[in-house]
Amino acid sequence: MDTLVIDGGMPLHGEVRISGAKNAALPLMAATLLAPGDHVLHNVPDLRDTRTMLSLIKTLGGDWVRQGGTVRINTDTLSGAEAPYDLVKTMRASVLVLGPLLSRAGYARVSLPGGCAIGTRPIDYHLKGFERLGVQTDLAQGYVEARVKDRLRGGVMYFDAPSVTGTENLLMAAVCAQGTTLIQNAAREPEVGNLIDMLTAMGAHIEGKDTDTLTVHGVERLVAAETSVIPDRIETGTYMIAVAACGGRVLLRDSLSQHLVALSEKLRRCGLIIEERQDGILVFCPEVAGSSLCALESVDITTQPYPGFPTDLQAQFMALMCMGEGTAIIHETIFENRFMHVAELNRMGADITIEGSRAVVRGCGRGSLSGAPVMATDLRASASLAIAGLAAQGTTTISRIYHLERGYENMAGKLQALGANIRRISG
């Protein structure tokens, strides 16, 4: 099994280029199923998840070529409408093909994603939204079968909680529906905005971008388009937290500070200096009395939908708080089981207890974590273990890094370039 081996204790210095956002690339790739032609997507990260989405597009009859960060996807002829279990079980975002297939083919059969390491994560909002547009949905043999009854018609959908992929799926089903669709309590994540920009370039008519109320005026047909994937705010945030944990000074090139206001605010309270520049975000630890490591204040966080503190950075921030000077309360409000990293962090010397949806992190100061063999349990938990390993004394070996590789492009290479002692071992 492939592992990451980290000898901790090195400060991070230099520049790192932030990749395109996984969570934006996936819906953009799914959106290519909406209209025939040659779609061009730039800044697509080369990740396990983006490869899975390309496999799925091929399964459905599409074709693609990749040249560097540019992926050209042709969807002239679709020959299938089924997302099989083997693909969906490795990536629940496969459900994003439901909306486009319903719009283009009037029918889709997609395996139910089922549970995952961070909770039950149902797709009932997606299905309710489709039903509002005139879709009949049935569950059989572990699959969702969705069929447009007559034709897609505009409707009103209120999300009980602002679901990111739910909003994206419904948008893609609604763009060519007859009449107007109103989506209330929609997700405002920048990845939704990136999708709206692509759909607009394809000829869709959507009002309310970046707000929680989206109005979609259905159009007759869409055409292929060329779009760029926005920078990955979660990858950016992960490296910002890594600098806070290890010390040093790093420029996160091609990142967008306006997508990370909540994290920047918290890191500043911890004692970090964060500068927003034209070419990216500069993060550094102020030197205190000749030491390259400033003391870390402990700071509480509560995860919330955008623009609140992202759940996808909760695990990484928790690793940082293990090195804080006091106690931090980390309240997870989005997913019910997103503390799988706690046991592994405690094995590295952290002092964390879980009380329902809150984790109480008693900071033990810098230099308190010690390297250990640990196991990655999900994508962001893996990143939190990498941060802990980078700051710990001694050697940390992280196994099951396929989780990490679902969402981080060349993490070992990027960290090596910043001076970290990290290597990826195959076998």
Give the residue numbers annotated as catalytic, written as ranges.
116
Q: What is the spatial distance between Cα 57 and Cα 83, in angstroms, rounded to a whole number? A: 9
State which of residues 76, 86, 124, 279 lies at the interface with ligand UD1 (CB under 6 A): 124
Measure Cα distances from 65 to 52, 58, 71 in Å: 14, 11, 6
Between residues 29 and 272, which has the closer beta carbon with respect to ligand UD1?
29
- The conformation of residue 6, written as its DSSP 8-state character, comes to E
Stretch that binds ligand UD1, among 9-17, 122-130, 219-227, 393-401 (CB under 6 A): 122-130
Per-residue binding letters, 83-112, with ligand UD1 (x by CB under 6 A):
----------x-------------------
Count, residues near ligand UD1 per rule CB under 6 A: 20
Per-residue binding letters, 177-206, with ligand UD1 (x by CB under 6 A):
----------x---x---------------
Q: How far is the CB of 165 from ligand UD1 (least distance, A)?
A: 3
Residue 143 as a binder of ligand UD1 (CB under 6 A): the answer is no
State which of residues 6, 18, 26, 401 lies at the interface with ligand UD1 (CB under 6 A): 26
- Hey, what are 127's tokens? 């299905």
Amino acid (one-letter) located at 317: F
Between residues 123 and 262, which has the closer beta carbon with respect to ligand UD1?
123
Residue 171 as a binder of ligand UD1 (CB under 6 A): the answer is no
State which of residues 13, 109, 126, 259 lies at the interface with ligand UD1 (CB under 6 A): 126
Stretch that binds ligand UD1, among 81-89, 121-129, 349-357, 367-375 (CB under 6 A): 121-129
Which residues lie closer than 8 Å to 164 by C-beta, 6 or more apart?
A: 23, 187, 189, 191, 192
- The conformation of residue 422, written as its DSSP 8-state character, comes to E
Per-residue binding letters, 309-338, with ligand UD1 (x by CB under 6 A):
--xx---------------------xx---
- Contacts of residues 154-158 at CB distance under 8 Å and 24 or more positions apart, as own/partner, are 154/178, 154/179, 154/180, 154/181, 154/182, 154/216, 154/218, 155/181, 155/182, 156/132, 156/181, 156/182, 156/184, 157/128, 157/129, 157/132, 157/181, 157/182, 157/183, 157/184, 158/184, 158/185
Helix 164-174 to helix 190-201 angle, to the nearest 10 degrees? 10
Asked if the bond preceding 27 is cis, omega within 30° of 0, the reply is no
Q: How far is the CB of 278 from ligand UD1 (least distance, A)?
A: 28
Q: What is the spatial distance between Cα 405 and Cα 189, in angstroms, rounded to a whole number? A: 23
Q: How far is the CB of 407 from ligand UD1 (least distance, A)?
A: 8
Q: How far is the CB of 97 from ligand UD1 (least distance, A)?
A: 12
Find tokens 């089903």 and name the residue: 173
Q: Strands 180-184 and 156-158: what pairing?
A: parallel
Q: What is the spatial distance between Cα 388 and Cα 114, in angstroms, rounded to a whole number? A: 30
Residue 123 as a binder of ligand UD1 (CB under 6 A): the answer is yes
State which of residues 6, 10, 13, 23 lies at the interface with ligand UD1 (CB under 6 A): 23
- Hey, what are 363's tokens? 């900071």
Stretch that binds ligand UD1, among 32-40, 115-123, 279-287, 362-370 (CB under 6 A): 115-123
State which of residues 1, 139, 156, 161 lies at the interface with ligand UD1 (CB under 6 A): 161
Q: How far is the CB of 39 from ligand UD1 (least distance, A)?
A: 19
Which residues lie closer than 8 Å to 355 by C-beta, 6 or more apart?
A: none
Stretch that binds ligand UD1, among 157-165, 173-181, 213-221, 412-420 (CB under 6 A): 157-165
- Hey, what are 73's tokens? 């996807």
Between residues 334 and 369, which has the closer beta carbon with respect to ligand UD1?
334
Chain-centroid distance of CA 370 in Å reads 29
Q: Strands 70-74 and 395-399: what pairing?
A: unpaired
Residue 166 as a binder of ligand UD1 (CB under 6 A): the answer is yes
Residue 263 as a binder of ligand UD1 (CB under 6 A): the answer is no
Residue 163 as a binder of ligand UD1 (CB under 6 A): the answer is yes
Q: Strands 280-284 and 248-253: what pairing?
A: antiparallel
Applying CB under 6 A, which residues contact ligand UD1?
A: 23, 26, 93, 121-126, 161, 163-166, 187, 191, 311-312, 334-335
